[in-house]
Structure 1
């Protein structure tokens, strides 16, 4: 092998080695932007139609104050949190999805308003009705 060819092969090997080092070093660099904390569930509850809490965490009180109307107090603040709710079944005799609704809203810093309804039910309970539900607060 002639000297100029050895020099080219040596230079290529050096370039690969240096390039590899640069790639490893830049891949391990810390991101320049601050990362946001992941969202976590701060409170949740499974509630019977009569307002009894069947299970939960981060709940300090519940007040059933009308047909299908509940206030739930949490131990932490709600500002900037996602408020999620769903109607539960009642031992299989509940009308189920498609024939019920739930509204979840924030009353103040740590109180949720829940309204449950059965819009497809005939008679006077066609709107507000006591329904079992679950709520989840994610911040």
Structure 2
């Protein structure tokens, strides 16, 4: 038994002997072992053309383009508790611009992502929803 444990036991015994209360503490002079936590892992990713064609990816089982700038992507693993990341990019093609672009990535159910792409500052029919190439990543 190390010295700090002996001193703590002695102090507790003395307090009980003279009728005092004993305070219990989880603090210790001994080193604390940190609990190992699993590192985040990319469970799925996709690089997608504006027309909904998958250019590359992993952990993706399907994609459905169901409107202007609207896509559902099905993954092979669950999405609960995962970070969902998306970015608009050109995927080596021309930027359909003009103006800024935006992407919304949301979870539909256990294995499906909803993606919405837009060009909010452009004029005409692309003022809100527009077919844009994008990339998504799922990190759990």
* TM-score normalized with structure 1 length: 0.74
Q: In the TM superposition, what are the counterparts of 1:1-139 in structure 2 within 5 Å? A: 31-89=32-90, 91=92, 93-94=94-95, 99-139=100-140
- Could you list the runs of 5+ residues in structure 1 that have no partner in the other structure? 1-28
Which secondary structure state, in structure 1, belongs to the residue aligned with residue 126 of structure 2? helix
Higher alpha-carbon Rg: 1
Distance 1:51 1:92 in 2: 14
Instruction: Give the superposition deviation at 1:91.
Output: 4.0
Distance 2:96 2:51 in 1: 17
Aligned residues: 111
Which secondary structure state, in structure 2, belongs to the residue aligned with residue 125 of structure 1? helix
2:24 is aligned to none
- Could you list the runs of 5+ residues in structure 2 that have no partner in the other structure? 1-29
1:48–1:33 CA distance, 2 compared to 1 (3 A): same
Q: Which stretch of structure 1 is more off in the superposition, 66-75 or 82-91?
A: 82-91
Instruction: Give the superposition deviation at 1:121.
Output: 1.1
Distance 1:47 1:111 in 2: 15
CA root-mean-square deviation: 2.0
Kept in 2, the 8 Å contact 1:88–1:96? The answer is no
